[in-house]
């Protein structure tokens, strides 16, 4: 479970993402998505040993070590790109920014936590 496994930083990001998603009074889907992808970035930095690298750099290192398939690397690079482009999730809002939906925030939390669990399991092998 991603909330209990991984680095302290990635667990903190996932806990924050879940809180922001499930807050009934003021849900914050944009920041929940940001926290979900930040959890992956944090975990990949730790696994790759490249604390200063981008997610793309770290995924490449993890791929080169044989821990993930190239298609998985590309999939997460694309999701990271989505968070850079879509509605100011990781960057400044614009007048055209659309508010992310509950479904998008839930998807990102689930897919990122699944990938985190996968990576942690692979590293334990």
What's the pLDDT tens digit per position in 91-120?
555 566 678 899 999 999 999 999 999 999
Residue 1 lies in a domain: no
Q: Is residue 37 domain-resident?
A: yes
| pTM for the full predicted model | 0.87
Q: Is residue 2 part of a domain?
A: no
Kindly state whether residue 18 falls inside one of the protein's structural domains. Answer: yes
Give 74-87 pLDDT, tens digit per residue.
999 999 888 887 56
Q: Tell me whether residue 3 is in a domain.
A: no
**What's the structural domain count of the chain?**
1
Q: Which domain holds residue 80?
A: 8-124
Question: What region, left, alpha or beta, does residue 84 occupy, with left being phi > 0 and alpha being psi -120 to 50 degrees?
Answer: alpha
Residue 77 lies in a domain: yes
Query: Does residue 22 sit within a domain?
Result: yes
């Amino acid at each position: 479970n991603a909330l209990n496994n991984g680095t302290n930083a990635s667990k903190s990001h996932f806990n924050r993402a879940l809180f922001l998603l499930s807050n009934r009074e003021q849900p914050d889907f944009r920041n929940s998505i940001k926290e979900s992808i930040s959890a992956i970035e944090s975990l990949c930095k730790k696994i790759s040993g490249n604390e200063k690298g981008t997610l793309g750099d770290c995924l490449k290192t993890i791929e080169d070590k044989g821990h993930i398939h190239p298609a998985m690397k590309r999939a997460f690079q694309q999701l990271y790109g989505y968070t850079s482009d879509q509605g100011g999730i990781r960057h400044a809002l614009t007048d055209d920014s659309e508010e992310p939906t509950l479904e998008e925030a839930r998807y990102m939390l689930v897919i990122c936590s699944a990938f985190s669990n996968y990576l942690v399991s692979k590293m334990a092998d």
